Amino acid sequence: MASSAAWGLEYLHSRSCIHRDIAARNCLYDKKKNVKISDFGLSREGEEYKMTQTQRVPMKSMAPECFTNFTFTRSSDVFSFGVLLWEIFSDAAEPFEGIKTAEMKNLILNGVRLEFPAATPPQITEMVTQHLWSSRPEDRYRMDQIVEGLKLIVEMEAERKDKKEIQREDTVKGSDIKIKKKKTKSRSRASQNRANMKKCQIGNAEGKGNSLNQS
């Protein structure tokens, strides 16, 4: 979902479209599980859009500069995309749940950001917190950089899972070898015991033969 949504937003930005409402609730799946970005009610064409203070906007995913100068750009969309990634890896949890708007605004302006769950791939957490949620719009990644970053992360995760699977298979094979060795060792001992028994039987038979000859 993350990569597909990134491609969609990259396309919008390439067409000079600022979405202004990037969130999980506005991402739809088609039959092939491709993500389609929806709800263009707040979108604007151009490099930036300055809104009036009376307009209603989704504040929980807004970039800091949107609170201070009411200006929206592609960089503010990037900040919101970081919140979208947080929603994905938080199982669609609500950002800043239970926190009042005024308090949330102060937190964001003071550099406080949402915390990713521990199970989130560390590369995702690092990319979002350092390059998408920067307080300075000019320090944030562009969407084409995010697309490439997510592509690399997906490849790294796939490689990690492959290595883990190979290690698991090697562990299972190692266990089989140990079991086989134990069985082989047990058979060797059994063979030795049978050989010893035969020697004893032969020795007893020879002993009896000598006794008869002596008598």
- The residue behind tokens 């970005």 is 37
**φ, ψ (nearest 5 deg) of residue 172:** -65, -45
* 21 is an active site residue: yes
For residues 165-197, one letter each, b for 16 or more C-beta atoms within 10 angstroms of the residue's C-beta and e for the rest, the string is eeeeeeeeeeeeeeeeeeeeeeeeeeeeeeeee
Q: What average pLDDT does the segment 27-46 reach?
A: 92
Q: pTM of the predicted model, to two decimals?
A: 0.76
Reported as a single tens digit per residue, the pLDDT across 126-183 is 999 999 999 999 999 999 999 999 999 999 988 887 777 777 766 766 666 666 665 5
CATH number of 2-163: 1.10.510.10
**Annotated active-site residue in 21, 30, 91, 139:** 21
Rounded CA gap, 20 and 76, in Å? Answer: 8
What average pLDDT does this structure show over 81-85? 98
At residue 193, the 3 state secondary structure works out as: helix
Domain spans in the chain, listed from the N-terminal domain onward: 2-163
